[in-house]
Chains A and B, each alone.
Chain A
Amino acid sequence: MLLPFIIAIHAAVAVLVPPLIRVMGSRAFLVASLPLALSAVWALVQAPAVLAGRPATASVAWVPALDITLDFRLDALALAMVLLVSGVGAVIFCYSAAYFHSDERALGRLAAVLVVFAGSMLGVVTTDNLFALYVFWELTSVSSFLLVGHDDRKENARRAATQALVTTAGFGLLMLIGFIILGQIGGTYQISALVADPPVDDPWLPVALVLILAGAFAKSAQVPLHYWLPEAMVAPTPVSGYLHAAAMVKGGVYLVARLAPGFADVDPWRALVLGFGLATMLVGGWRALRQDDLKLLLAYGTVSQLGFLTVLAGAGTATAATALIGVLLAHGLFKATLFLTVGVIDHQTGTRLISQLSGLGRRMPALAVAAGAAAASMAGLPPLLGFVGKEAAFEAFVPGHEAALPPVASGVVLTGLVAASALTFAYSARFVWGAFADKYTVSERRFPRPSRAFVAAPVLLSAAGLVLGVLPVLVDPIAQAYAAPFLTGGHGGYHLALWHGLTPPLALSALVVLAGALLFWRRRWVARVQNAMPRWPAAELGYHLFVHTVYSTALSVTRRTQSGSLPVYLGIILATLLALPGVRLLLAVAGGDVALPVGGPSFRWWDNPLEIVVAVIIVVTAVATVREHRRFPALILISATGFGIAGLFVLHGAPDLALTLVLVETLTTIILVFVLRRLPATFNVRPNGWGKRGTVALCAAAGTFVATSLWVMTDARTAAPISRGFADLAEQAGGHNLVNVILADFRALDTYGEIVVLATSAVAVASLVLLNRRDRAAGAGDTGDTADEAAGGSDPVPAQAGALAGGTTRSDSGGTSEPPRPEEGG
């Protein structure tokens, strides 16, 4: 099967597109649409075999040890999604070629990320492994983040992008936990195997399902997590049309639909899916009715439709499954058409507010007809695909139609569906009226006519909705193939068709049209009711509260733990050392578990009498360092201690260690001298008192503990040292210097990690300097001479530390209003 290859082509094209944009301008989008067209054509070619019940599969091993394989499986549901993702996507890409100006900022990045998104979405809908699904899923979240934040100089774009990412990826983590639980209790991470043989008896299954549904609901913008979708409308319109109508937001619905055949009967699946879906449908429709911005109207309409799809996907009955495929394709086609229409209107007239548009229907008749047909499909009018899907949906919830649903529940759901459909009709009508009607109160704008190529995309998509509506037999096989697992034998399946005879759903459709028309006709009255309703707490509030709590908690924790005082940090570290292992050692020695190795067979005072000399040097310099009050002599003394230790290494036959230590000591001494230039000549000496005594006691205890534990530990060897065979191994590896062979060969991975740390700290040092500079600039601009003197002249190192700890330097340097001391710099 070609699929992994096709996804790889997406990645390759994503790399190639930015330079192409530079050469060809926005026409490069036509090239970028090629992989999408390729995958749509490929899916169509596979369709006969897939619909005959032979899914196309492929498998690429990725992490075999963790049971992570890139399994791909194209079945009926995946086929429908691929047609949406790649087919509609290819059309939107062609439209983008006309929509974007070639001099648009960062167009190359936009195009590349869009292709990456298309590839990962293709992966989401075709993969058969839970982990691979998660990876592709989060790739779509990340690319959506980049696309929503495309205009990264606008604050609201950045905020909307972050909000979408935090919401979808945050709940995606819950979903990952759900996946892992599901995989563990099911014994496999292969989705088709899990659905075919669900671990229904396991008590953990409901937990896993709830977590997975949380992720799916966040992705598909279900109430109360729907807030991110309208916010994400700051993205360019083709992006909104593709991500937030046709493809990405369907990811959650897809996941629900994917798992429904196996898990729909497990409690609390149906309650959650039907409850949240219905609520979303109603809230979305209600909010869409009062939007003035056409794009926001569509966004809330999308929220409503996603609720509808979730209800259908999760219901877990054959008719609902049939309806799902119909509505899924219909929604992809009509919503993309409408978004692209808004894009054309916005592009030509410069506004998309209903209150500023008038007479567009006369000026752009082709667009108006296409959008009208799409809106009619959304409203559920015959002979369009939307009508076919909605009929099937009503049929699915007629009480008594499906045995799996209790009649009361079906009745409630059906009522909700009818009410929401009436709202849908009303906002569809409002869209067409708002975009194209002549309004006597609004003056007409002058605008250039859109080019034919620009309008072609919405017309094409709208026509596709019409054709599939007239000929539902083209869609029906997919729906039947997806619904087949739900059939429980009893009755034959429901087929997608325009005419089923005089059935209850037809009557309901008529009712919807009537109620919807009434709502639209009485729109002033509806608006008054909406305004009079008490305002619900916005769902966004939860998000803001959450983010604010995280920030404030982080701030207060940082403020409490990061005092910025080195003695305090060291004191805490040493006190912990003494409190945990120190007390343990003391207890062990006191209890007699560990004997101090005095006088044992392996106990010697020294190996070489010279060690005594070196030890005396170390002790004397160490004591002198502590007693020294001037910084520079203290530095020299502590270096002497270091050189003394290097001497011990030499005496013990470790020239490598000694060499390195000498070099490091020399370098640190020199670098510390650089720093000392800027520090006061003497330490701030603590006054004699309990504070000083405490410090002395703490340090003495820590030193004693380290010495004692080393002493005990070196004697406590019970197993043979691992290094015994190293000499021979080093010969094999081609070196005689054991230390070096260990560093560069045996433990090369450790060394590798260490040099990464070195490089990172080098970069950190550089940024520390930048930080200090920027801070100085800000301080100088702010408080003038004084701050400048304080930051530049007296103590930059504490200033840097303060800036690291929490950005408090400015207030520090502003507060320390020392008189200028020119003699210190020179």
Chain B
Amino acid sequence: MPVNGSRPDTPADGPTGTGPPEGWEAPRERWLSTVVRPAFGPRSVLLEVVARLLIPAILTFSVFLLVSGHDRPGGGFAGGLVASMAYVLRYVAGGRHELAAGLPLRPNTLLAVGMLLACGTAGAPLLVGAPVLDAVQYKFTLPVFGEVKLLSALIFETGVFLIVVGLVLSVVAALGARMEAEEQEAREERAGRRPRGGATAGGGGA
């Protein structure tokens, strides 16, 4: 999406052929995907840039923590916290519309998928007569990566990961986005009501 309203790569002044195309100096995309209206405080370009640059790295890091958890510090819980931190950053920098635009699934869906994964790993061993939550590991060799170890616990950890993300997102949605929306609603109500009830309702505040 362009900032200035016209696509920078279409030569608006093509026929003349003199000078650079209009708007060539503007970036092709905004830093964040929606109209930025931060949750609180004035808009901060620094924060937006940092969010844009860091969020992919944070999400990748969270998956790394999840996958490497069995041998190194990390795991599903820590990974989930890191991933949700990425969304919290996005919310702080861009406000609730930005948060909504960035969510792949609704928090409830995340929770449900996480519970399903965890319950599935917990219950699946029962089908083959093994005790609940029995873990299996599976090793194989991939061309580039060499020997790879897959544990059934990883699926369980993925469930934990999703549930943590779902929990944090519900809390952020409830305590952040929802309250923000309500504040805005209240502001609009006040704005709409003042002309009519100005003598009584607006009197105290103004």
Contact = CB atoms under 8 A, between A and B. Distances in A.
A673 to B, nearest CB: 8
B40 A677 contact: yes
A740 B74 CA distance: 8
The SS class assigned to the A binding surface is helix
B124 interface: no
A745 interface: yes
5 contacts: A671-B172, A671-B176, A737-B74, A748-B133, A820-B205
A758 B171 CA distance: 11
Given A733-B135, A737-B74, 9 more contacts: A656-B74, A734-B135, A744-B69, A749-B133, A755-B163, A762-B111, A762-B166, A793-B186, A796-B182
Contacts of A789: 186
B170 A765 contact: yes
Nearest to A735: B70
A825 B193 contact: no
A659 B151 contact: no
Contact of B132 (A659, A733, A749): A749
Contacts of B164: 758
A755 B160 contact: yes
A667 B85 contact: yes
A762 B204 contact: no
Nearest to B84: A667
Contacts of B168: 667
A736 B70 contact: yes
Contacts of A769: 173-174, 178
Minimum-distance CB pairs A-B, first 6: A819-B204, A735-B70, A663-B81, A744-B153, A734-B137, A792-B186
A788 B40 CA distance: 22
A766 B204 contact: no
Contacts of A823: 205
A762 B110 CA distance: 11
B76 interface: yes
A503 to B, nearest CB: 63
Given A752-B122, A788-B186, A663 B73 contact: no
A640 to B, nearest CB: 19
A759 interface: yes
Interface string B188-205: 011001000100111011
A674 interface: yes
A743 interface: yes
A659 B137 contact: no
B183 interface: yes
Contacts of A761: 167
Given A752-B118, A762-B166, A765-B174, A788 B189 contact: yes
Interface of B: 39-40, 69-78, 81-82, 84-85, 88, 92, 107-108, 111, 114-115, 118, 122, 132-133, 135, 137, 149, 151, 153, 156-157, 159-160, 163-164, 166-168, 170-176, 178-179, 182-183, 185-187, 189-190, 193, 197, 200-202, 204-206
A675 interface: yes
B37 to A, nearest CB: 13
A677 B153 CA distance: 40
A465 B23 CA distance: 95
B153 A745 contact: yes
A674 B166 contact: no
B78 A660 contact: yes
Contact of B81 (A664, A768, A793): A664
Contacts of B77: 660, 743
B156 A744 contact: yes
Contacts of B133: 748-749, 752
Nearest to A676: B40
Question: Which of A759, A763, A793, A822 is packed against the most chain B CB atoms within 10 Å?
Answer: A759
Contact of B174 (A739, A743, A766): A766
A821 interface: yes
A826 interface: yes
- Which of the four size classes fits the interface of chain A? 35 or more
Contact of A663 (B78, B153, B204): B78
Given A660-B78, A748-B153, A821-B205, A737 B118 contact: no
A670 B88 CA distance: 8
A159 interface: no
A674 B172 contact: yes
A321 interface: no
Given A734-B149, A745-B153, A820-B205, A759 B166 contact: yes
A825 B183 contact: yes
Given A736-B71, A743-B77, A759-B114, A796 B179 contact: yes
B70 A755 contact: no
Given A670-B92, A744-B157, A763-B111, A820 B202 contact: yes
Residue among B73, B82, B168, B202 facing the most chain A CB atoms (10 A cut-off):
B73
A208 to B, nearest CB: 35
Contacts of B85: 663, 666-667
Nearest to B119: A752
Interface of A: 655-656, 659-660, 663-664, 666-667, 670-671, 674-675, 677-678, 733-737, 739-741, 743-745, 748-749, 751-752, 755-756, 758-759, 761-763, 765-766, 768-769, 773, 776, 785, 788-789, 792-793, 796, 819-823, 825-826
Nearest to A792: B186
B201 A820 contact: yes
Nearest to A741: B70
Contacts of A759: 111, 114-115, 163, 166-167
B190 A822 contact: yes
Residue with the greatest number of chain A CB neighbours at <10 A, chosen from B92, B172, B182: B182
Which of A659, A660, A674, A749 is packed against the most chain B CB atoms within 10 Å? A674
A164 B151 CA distance: 51
A795 to B, nearest CB: 12
Given A663-B78, A745-B135, A826 B92 contact: no
B114 A785 contact: no
Given A674-B176, A765-B170, A655 B190 contact: no
Contacts of B114: 755, 759
Contacts of A744: 69-70, 75-76, 135, 151, 153, 156-157, 160
Contacts of B156: 744, 748, 751-752
A825 to B, nearest CB: 5
Nearest to A767: B174
Contact of B187 (A664, A675, A776, A825): A825
A671 B149 CA distance: 37
Given A744-B75, A792-B182, A734 B176 contact: no
B152 to A, nearest CB: 9
A785 B201 contact: yes
B75 A737 contact: yes
Contacts of A664: 81
Contacts of A819: 204-205
Contacts of B163: 755, 758-759, 762
Nearest to B149: A734
A737 B205 contact: no
Contacts of B197: 785
Given A769-B178, A796-B179, A822 B88 contact: no
B88 A667 contact: yes
A631 B182 CA distance: 23
B118 A755 contact: yes
Contacts of B70: 734-737, 740-741, 744
Contacts of B175: 671, 674-675, 765
A642 to B, nearest CB: 14
Contact of A674 (B39, B187, B206): B39
A789 B183 CA distance: 10
Contacts of A678: 179
A803 to B, nearest CB: 14
A245 to B, nearest CB: 42
A752 B178 CA distance: 29
A743 B151 CA distance: 14
Nearest to B167: A762
A758 B167 contact: yes
Contacts of A671: 88, 171-172, 175-176
